[in-house]
């Protein structure tokens, strides 16, 4: 089973596709699932679900994301990406291969007469990296259709010991908001600067005020705000008539996010009054925080006994759309260590599938048989 899963990973790694445009990936995964005896469905574009009905009242779900990234691979692997400018640089090929391996094991156990405590649903989703395929899947009603009462997922994670599993109760990954400031001023030649309204200066003032506010919050408030792009003006000898600032806000608690968003908007109003410019602050919806259900997490730990997962001291500031599943049913998300590797999204991200994939399948099998 594990050798098949490793082969799945290497095949998928060669055909990376983006967003919900996953025709080759979807065809491959569907072909791998067809012989297993599960009920297959395609609730949204770029997805496939496999349902194993064992006659139980409840269903446990396992999620795998299938989309890749617009990255040019530099690993030198013999099974490297065959699509220029696209790469599985976030481990989704591994997530999918582990889920396929677990699905094959589920099929085998059912054929061997093993009585599973719950029906099993495998959710293979698109668009984790882009528009949040998870939200569209839960909105399609798959949890209600199959009676899902809990869900598990995992993510390959660099710089954790290879083949070890880590997580924590409560907040694990951050809520994300993309922040965009648009400033409209009045452009004039620098010789008449007093007649203009300097959009660049207004943008810089707002950005600095935003940094000062967020960095001045109490240390126990987990948050980060970072701007990575500022575009303004046309030439060096004219007051800038327009400016645009782009950044990202990451938090865990909704109250914290709301307070920061309101403060940044109020700062924009104050700077507009003082500069004569128009400032508009826009926030994307983003992904909610990945928040592991505390009771289910304790159930996991109690059942594993001496094999308990490692508990992270702090959550991470990365974001994940697995959070949309957790808003519908109790869920726990895990990190599966891949050792000392390049970071996620790096063109050099490379890991040992012969060690990591069997460990992932074995661990998730334990989640399938939890009481």
> Residues with catalytic annotation?
65, 129
Judge contact between 164 and 356, C-beta under 8 A.
Answer: no
Backbone dihedral angles phi then psi of residue 228, each to the nearest 5 degrees: -120, -5
Dihedral sign computed on CA atoms, order 260, 266, 272, 275: negative
Judge contact between 128 and 31, C-beta under 8 A.
Answer: no
By DSSP bridging, strand 148-157 and strand 59-65 are: parallel
- Tokens 């967020």 map to which residue? 214
What CA–CA distance (Å, rounded) separates 118 from 53?
8
């Amino acid at each position: 089973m594990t050798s098949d899963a490793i082969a799945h990973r290497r095949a998928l790694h060669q055909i990376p596709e983006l967003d919900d445009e996953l025709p080759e990936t979807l065809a491959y995964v569907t072909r791998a699932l067809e012989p297993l005896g599960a009920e297959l469905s395609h609730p949204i574009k770029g997805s496939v679900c496999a349902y194993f009905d064992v006659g139980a009242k409840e269903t446990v779900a396992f999620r795998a994301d299938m989309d890749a990234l617009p990255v040019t691979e530099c690993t030198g692997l013999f099974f490297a990406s065959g699509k220029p400018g696209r790469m599985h640089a976030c481990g989704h090929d591994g997530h999918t291969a582990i889920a396929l391996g677990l699905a094959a094991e589920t099929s085998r156990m059912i054929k061997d007469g093993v009585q599973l405590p719950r029906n099993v649903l495998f959710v293979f989703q698109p668009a984790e990296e882009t528009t949040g395929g998870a939200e569209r899947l839960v909105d399609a009603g798959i949890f209600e259709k199959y009676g899902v009462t809990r869900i598990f997922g995992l993510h390959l994670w660099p710089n954790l010991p290879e083949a070890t599993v880590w997580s924590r109760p409560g907040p694990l990954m951050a809520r994300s908001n993309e922040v965009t400031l648009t400033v409209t001023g009045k452009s004039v030649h620098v010789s008449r600067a007093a007649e203009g309204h300097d959009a660049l200066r207004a943008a810089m003032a707002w950005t600095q005020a935003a940094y000062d506010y967020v960095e001045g919050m109490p240390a126990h408030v987990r948050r980060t705000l970072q701007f990575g792009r500022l575009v303004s003006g046309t030439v060096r000898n004219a007051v800038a008539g327009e400016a645009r600032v782009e950044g990202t806000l990451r938090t865990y608690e909704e109250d914290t996010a709301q307070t920061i968003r309101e403060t940044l908007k109020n700062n924009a109003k104050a700077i507009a009054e003082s500069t004569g410019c128009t400032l508009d602050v826009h926030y994307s919806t983003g992904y909610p925080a990945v928040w592991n259900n505390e009771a289910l997490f304790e159930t996991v730990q109690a059942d594993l006994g001496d094999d308990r997962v490692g508990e992270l001291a702090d959550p991470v500031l990365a974001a994940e759309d697995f959070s949309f599943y957790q808003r519908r049913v109790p869920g726990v998300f895990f990190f599966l260590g891949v050792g000392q590797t390049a970071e996620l999204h790096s063109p050099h991200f490379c890991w040992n599938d012969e060690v990591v994939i069997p460990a992932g399948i074995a661990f998730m099998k334990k989640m399938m048989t939890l009481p």
